Every structure is written in structure tokens, then in C-alpha cells.
Amino acid sequence: MCSMCDALTQLWAEGATGQGAAKQTVTSQAMLEHLTLDQQANYLTDGYWHDAYGGSPHHFYVHAGGALTVNPASLSASAQVVARYALQTWTNVSGLNFVETTAAAAINFSEQKSGAYSNSNYAGSIISDSSVNIASDWVKYGLYYQQTYIHEIGHALGLGHAGNYNGSATFPNNAFYQEDSWKYSVMSYFSQSENTYSNASFGYVATPMLADIVAIQSLYGTAVTRTGDNTYSFNKTSSNTGTDFVPGLVATIYDSGGNDTINVSTYVGAQTVDLRSEAFSSLYGGLSNIAIARGTVIENAITGAGADTLIGNASDNFLNANAGNDQLQGGDGDDRLMGGAGSDVLNGGNGIDTALYTEAGARYFATYDTALVRNATLSVHDAQTSDVDTLSSVERLSFSDRNATLDELLMAFHSRYGAFNAESDATVSLSFSMDLHHIALTEDQADIARLYSLFGRTPDYQGLNHWLTQQAMGSSDAEIRDGFLNSTEGIQRYSGLGDREFVLDLYQTVLHRTGEESGVSSWNTLLQAGGSRAAVADGFLNSRESRDISEGETGFIRIVAHNAWNNLDMVVGKGVATGTAGDDQISEQEVRLDSNAVSHLAGNAGIDTFIFNDAASAYTI
């Protein structure tokens, strides 16, 4: 038999003075060692029993999903409520189901004796029965009374203390590792503020904590708890054992599935939400007061009007910081980041990440400092509020009326302001309010861009920039064309096609139509006679029909970014510009007016503007 915690008064005495700030410095005592979470858990299940009693670990002969009887009948009605709450917190993380009885039980509760303690009878490693006594007058200790029930039930199930102490202890004299506090374990004797290493604010414990969960699951197995879509938040008046927390309490979230959310949007101060497993968040004025258990995945976080920090995990996260100058880090996964009002910093991390804006695109414009482009840092300006968001590792932008991808923006910047491999201190901008989008390229660049029609698609920025670099380094048109045909995409598209199928595909991808039989037969005959597919591809790409489609014969090519610019485009040629039905703005720089030729500018419907570089006398209109 083992008797635990017969005199716990020093714990509540410290907490009774109020919630002090976390201690940030270590005293002059020797530096304590650091224990991993697994080492802390092992001390709870094994180390304590060895150090304190020369004994070995013990537990009930039951596994997660099984049942243990409990008898709270001798408790007052109010004490029974607290006992059931504490039992449920252990059910949530152990998977053990506690069944009430009025007969002798596996765990028997009482409140008639003084103090708070637990006794267990066991043979070898198997507990036969345990008893928990918490004196009725301990109710005066409020939330610590509830914490004591959680603590003593932990003993009844087989957990020891977080250090080699029992009844009384002080951190300077009895702690042997840095993590020994309520921050990591309800089985510790030391509050967060007594532990000089904890970097956490004082708070009573509302659930088993990180080390407790690892420990109890090593004894009984992994619990399956809350597999649906849950929202975790703070409730100022009440608490339950899983999803609502009272400010001033500390807790660990344990969740087995679903699409889950931490929502602390009603708090106006600064907060930190860290969705990573085994990480701590600082919520509702607390410091490191909410943890996420090992193996738990929370997908979403919503904060309030403070200057918040939101950190995602490896899942596809939705992070919404609302108002304030916030920092959002998506981490791995395809994340959606919403900074809200204020000047925010959004880092998508790995994956295909999207910056979300609730207003129409016309309200925003983007700028690049061209010296920073290699770091893919984009600034998005709110024209109404002058807020500026800084985006990195974000591949997409979403507005209420349109979407844009980073590739589309990079191509737009590239076409307007030149290659990004040149050092420059200039800042360039692109407005999201444009109802048209085009990319104007030189004739040589157009020849490369036209090669993408072999794949039935428009260029992507990275690929186009690669081939433009190869061209600048001296690669011939034929070498670049062969590079396309022999690329992985080219081989996948064409290697399995016969000669006739190859020709039919070129009609569809390059000329966007079905081939007439005479043309198909002519090209097929050429291939059958030993002609190369590269030569046939050249014939299609350089045909008048192909150049008319791409506007290439005048030295420019049209690339339509449908999603980014509201499905509208502008046909641009050398000295030729045709607007759309919207209110278009077309500049001389974009159209590249030829001083020796007649230019044709057509605005079409809408209120259109043509911008010229020189005085009116320089032009004949």
C-alpha cells in the first residue's frame, strides 16, 4: 500500500496570493537538467516509485476503452460534481471509462478525513483498488480544490509525483529538472511562478498536462476522444472537460480527429496561438497557458484585435488574425492566411499557401522591391487604410471578387519591369484593380512563350524565366525547342502518340482547332517520309495562323491570366492594343508605340484611358 500527498497545504498557500507574473530569470542555484517529455512521463510512471519507495510501476489491469468502477457516494453533492469532472478529464486522455457504483469499487472516494491523499493496494504491477480522500473543507480553495481531485486520481491510476517529494517540497530544494511544474504536469508540486525556468504565468490546472498524458497512455494505451469538428475557446463563467476554458486556468487540448479550431477572437489583447503538437499558446492574457497534446492536430486558429502571432502545423491550416499588426506562419501544408485589418506579416512556409482578403481586388495593389524578389517577398497595400502586408512563401492571393497566383504576378512584374536577376533598388507595383491583364514580350521572348502551346497551356513564371535565361546564355531556338520536346512534360505528352495522332494534337494545342484532312495528311506524309517531329512542331509554331493567335508576328504575345484578372484580357501587339468591355488603362510603354509606324489603339466599351509619354505635339492623332 502507498499513501500519497498527505499534506499538500503549501501548494494552495502559494496560489492563494493571486496570479503573479511568470518568473523570467533563474536564481543563483545550480542549473537544473532538462528532461524531454518522454523522460518526464517516465519519471511519473517509473522513476518516482523507484526513488521514493524502491518500488516499480503499477496500474490497473485495464486498457483504453475498458471500464473501472468508482464509488463517490460518500461525497457531498457538490464534491461529487467536482469528482466527476476530474474523472472525465482522465477519461478524455486515457480512454478509461469510469462506472459509478455504491458498492466497493476500483476507486473509492471520501472527504471525511483531513488533508488530501490517495492510497493504492497492488501486487506486483497490478493495482487491485485505490482510495482518494480530499477533505470537505478544501472546497474553500476554489479551483485548486478541483485541481487536487485531478492530481489524486492521477495517483489512484498509478502516477507518481513529478519529483522525489511527498507531502511538502520547495522548488529550490526538491526539483531536479527544469520542467517540474504545473506547466507540464498536474502531478508536480510547483506552480508555474515558483518554477524559475517555466516562462509561464500562474494558473490552476484544469486537465492532465503534456507529461501526464504521455505517462497515462504508456500505462493504459491511447484514447480516442473528440473525433468530430470541435471549437476550443474560453468561457468566462463555466468550464467543461474539453473545449471551454476559464481565463486563469491552464489546460492541454487532446483531440483525436475532425477539423478543429481554436477561437479566441473575443480577446482584444496580444495572443500567440501555436498549433504544433506539444507546443504552448499564450491566450486570454496568459503566458504559455494552453498546450496541444502529442498527436493532436488542430487545423484552424482565430484571434482577436491584438497584435497576435499565429503558428500553423503540418496540416492545411486556416489562420485568421483579425485586426491588429499580426504575424502568421503557415508552416507545412496548403495554408490559408488572413491577416485582417492592420499591417501583417504572412509567411506561408511549405505548400501552396493563400493570402485571403475580404474586400474586392480594386482596393489593393502589390509592390516588389526588385532586390528582394529572389526571396519571394511581396507587399500588398490597402489603398484605403494604407496598411501594408508583407507576404513570403505565399503562392496565391484571394480577394472577394478575384484570385491571383504568385506565378501570374511574377510574370506581370517581369514583363513590365524586366528580368529580376538584375540588382535594383527600384520598387515596382501592380494594381489589382485592373480589369485586364497582359504580358508583353520581345519577339525572341515570344518565340519561347509560344513553345508552351505544345503543352496546351500558358507559361509558368519559373519555367519561362529558365528558358529566357538559357536564351540569354546563347542557346539557339532549336536547342530550346528540343528542350521542350524532350522535357518530362513533353515526353509524357507525345511519346505514346503515333505520327498522325501527333499531328492531330498539334492542331488542337497550337492552333486551337480540329485539323482539316488535307493538312493532317500532308504533315503525316512528311513524318512518314522521315521528317522529324521537331521540324513539324516548328512548322506549326511559326505558321501565320499560330502567330496570329499569339500576336507574335508583331513581336508580342498575349498571355491571359484568367483567374487573376476577372477573366478579361487585352490583345497587345507592336503598336496595337485592344481593350475589353471594362474601363481600361493602356500606356505607351505597354504598347511599345513605333515612331515610324501607324499605331492602332482600340478601347472598346467602357471609359478607357491612353497614356502617352511626350507632349501632345509629338503625336498625330
pLDDT of residue 554: 32
Can you tell me the distance from the alpha carbon of 430 to that of 412, in angstroms, rounded to the nearest whole number? 8
Is residue 190 pLDDT above 70, yes or no?
yes
- Cβ(74)–Cβ(42) under 8 Å? no
Sign of CA dihedral 7, 12, 17, 22: positive
Report the pLDDT averaged over residues 140-148: 96
**For 2-24+31-190+205-215, which CATH superfamily applies?**
Collagenase (Catalytic Domain) (3.40.390.10)
Q: Do residues 560 and 522 touch, judged by C-beta distance below 8 A?
A: no
pLDDT in tens, 46-66: 999 999 999 999 999 999 999
* Predicted pLDDT at 526: 92
Residue 299 designated active-site: no
Handedness of CA 167, 172, 178, 179 (dihedral sign): positive
Asked if 1 and 119 count as a contact pair (C-beta separation under 8 A), the reply is yes
Q: Are 608 and 582 in contact (CB under 8 A)?
A: no
| Range with the poorest average pLDDT among 179-188, 395-404, 488-497, 604-613 | 604-613
- Out of 196-200, 595-599, 611-615, which region has the weakest mean confidence (pLDDT)? 595-599
pLDDT over threshold 60, residue 141: yes
Of 343, 268, 330, nearest to 300 by C-alpha is 330
2-24+31-190+205-215 and 221-431 share one CATH topology? no
Which distant-in-sequence residues (6+ apart) come within 8 Å of 374 by Cβ?
Answer: 420
Residue 459: predicted pLDDT: 73
| Under 8 Å between Cβ of 41 and 214 | yes
Spacing of C-alpha 513 from chain mean position: 44
Per the document, the length of the chain is 621
Computed over every residue of the chain, the mean pLDDT equals 81
Res. 435: pLDDT tops 70 = no
Going from N- to C-terminal start, the domains of the chain cover 2-24+31-190+205-215, 221-431, 443-554, 571-618
Q: How confident is the model at residue 99 (pLDDT cuts 50, 70, 90)?
A: very high
Buried/exposed 81-101: b ≥16 CB within 10 Å, e otherwise: ebbbbbbebbbbbbbbebeee
Name the helix (H) or strand (E) containing 392.
strand 388-392
Q: How far is CA 148 from the centre of its chain?
A: 36
Tell me which CATH code domain 221-431 carries.
2.150.10
CATH for 443-554, options being 1.10.3130.20, 2.40.50.140, 3.40.50.150, 3.30.70.580: 1.10.3130.20
Cα(311)–Cα(256) distance, integer angstroms: 20
Q: Is the pLDDT of residue 556 over 60?
A: no
Residue 91, all three cell numbers: 477519461
The proportion of the chain whose per-residue pLDDT surpasses 70, expressed as a percent, equals 75
Report for 331-345, 568-582, 589-603: range of highest mean pLDDT: 331-345
Mapped to the 3 state alphabet, what secondary structure does 128-144 carry? EEEEEEECHHHHHHCHH
Residue tagged active-site, from 111, 152, 179, 299: 152
